[in-house]
Structure 1
Amino acid sequence: MEFDSYDNYGVQLATELVNSAHGDGPDELADAPGLRSFLARHEFTLSMESPDAEVTPRELAAVRRLRQRLRAVFDQPDAEQAAAALNGLLAEAGTLPQLTRHDGSWHFHYTAAGAPLAARLLAEAAIGLAGVLRADGYPRMLTCAADDCADVFVDASRNSSRRFCNPATCGNRATTAAYRARQRAAAGTPTSDEAPAQGTEDVWQRERALMREGPHLRVGDVEWTRDDVHDR
């Protein structure tokens, strides 16, 4: 699976914009300097007419709302609804594809020169994602399968087998966790969120009782100690 240069730029812009909110982690767009840094990384000018303009609170709020709406595209249940969501975003951005020459070469711009920052970001990102859906299908637009990650990504693998946003981090953590779970299962050691294996439940119950009652526990005519619990 390959993107052309314009699709690739829009896809990267869309996914990194969505992923700039890290759940419990820091928000890359928490303030105006954060937004300026994001735009600089993507070589995106704040204003086509005044590149040195300052980020306003209104622009920051608009981009943060845009981020939520782009994430919603990845959360749709099927391609039809994802396409409808993207069409709505493209219409909202007022997309107007046009060729513009600057920096010594021709470029596509998707909005009028005076369009607001959020509209220009929206047009670039939505067109990139629309290209993925059209050429390769909605199943390529995914959310990371790791339990502790909600980042989105586009699967560009040949056999559409990628499950994690970053195989080197989320993928390795998930593989390690699965291996350890298999080892525990083979050894008959329950995990913290599993029911105890058959034959160990009575030991767990006696251990809990000993923790409540002290070092000795009488059950009928039998007195149990902690050593008795673990020896059986």
Structure 2
Amino acid sequence: MQLNPYGEDPVNLAVDLSNRPVADLDDLVRRCVEAGVVVDMPTGPADLDTTRDLVLRFREIVDAPGEKARAALVNALLKESSAHPRLTDHVGGWHLHYRDDDLSLGGVLRALVSVGVALHLSGRGMHRLGRCADRDCDVVYADQSRTGRQRYCSTRCANRDAVRRHRSGLRSA
């Protein structure tokens, strides 16, 4: 079964790129390949610039003040990045592409992330992107939990915040 390559994986890649900035072109290519992106195009310094811009745009989507603002940012990115869907078999199996052919790696990432984020939010809920609720953490997450109530990036941050709240309550008593 071929899963939609525009779903969870591009969102996870966007989260990773947001939380751990790309060091250089080799780092970008390695992380894309690890995430399942087929890097069969020439790459260059412009891909770093495009990716860094994409990360900024993704963080704006995460930080949007409400559903309508978030949707407007996603729609703007979709308009700039994606194309009409079409079938392709470039990697030995038929699947949909929502991007033009012959894009640079940065262009491919923009299309993958824009459609992936749109599918994530429309399929799971418009609130399913966020930042860790621990005041000492700024990590971005994509909520893929069953309940849709994720507030922390990790169990460690949730526990640290719970201990802080508990200790704060003891001092005020």
Change (3 A) 1:37 1:120: same
Q: Identify which of 18, 24, 34 aligns with 1:31.
A: 24
Secondary structure, counterpart of 1:105 in structure 2 = coil
Q: Does 1:41 align with 2:12?
A: no
User: 1:18 corresponds to which letter in structure 2?
Assistant: S
Q: Does 1:105 align with 2:105?
A: no
Q: Which residue of 2 aligns with 1:74?
A: 62
**Equivalents in 1 of 2:144, 2:36: separation in Å?**
23
**Equivalents in 1 of 2:143, 2:47: separation in Å?**
31
Change (3 A) 1:94 1:133: closer
Contact 2:82–2:114 (Cα < 8 Å) also in 1: no
Contact 1:110–1:120 (Cα < 8 Å) also in 2: no
Secondary structure, counterpart of 1:160 in structure 2 = coil
Superimposed CA distance per residue, residues 63-91 of structure 1 (whole angstroms, 9 cap, x where no aligned partner): 11111011101111111111111111111
Q: Identify which of 108, 111, 114 aligns with 1:120.
A: 108
Contact 1:96–1:110 (Cα < 8 Å) also in 2: yes
Q: CA deviation at 1:10?
A: 2.7
**Equivalents in 2 of 1:148, 1:34: separation in Å?**
27
**Equivalents in 1 of 2:38, 2:124: separation in Å?**
30
* Percent sequence identity over aligned pairs: 32
User: 1:151 corresponds to which letter in structure 2?
Assistant: V
User: 2:15 corresponds to which letter in structure 1?
Assistant: T
Q: Does 1:8 align with 2:1?
A: no
Q: Choose 1 or 2 for highest CA Rg.
A: 1
The answer for unaligned runs of 5 or more in structure 2 is: none
Which TM-score applies when normalising by structure 2? Answer: 0.85
**Equivalents in 2 of 1:185, 1:92: separation in Å?**
52
RCO higher in 1 or 2 (8 Å CA, sep ≥ 6)?
2
RMSD: 2.1
Greater mean alpha carbon deviation, residues 136-145 or residues 122-131 = 136-145
Q: Which residue of 1 aligns with 2:167?
A: 180
Secondary structure, counterpart of 1:70 in structure 2 = helix
Contact 2:67–2:126 (Cα < 8 Å) also in 1: yes
Contact 2:8–2:120 (Cα < 8 Å) also in 1: no
Q: CA deviation at 1:102?
A: 4.1
**Equivalents in 2 of 1:33, 1:116: separation in Å?**
15
Superimposed CA distance per residue, residues 180-223 of structure 1 (whole angstroms, 9 cap, x where no aligned partner): 2223333xxxxxxxxxxxxxxxxxxxxxxxxxxxxxxxxxxxxx
Contact 2:46–2:106 (Cα < 8 Å) also in 1: no
Q: Which residue of 1 aligns with 2:52?
A: 64
**Equivalents in 2 of 1:174, 1:155: separation in Å?**
18
Aligned length: 170
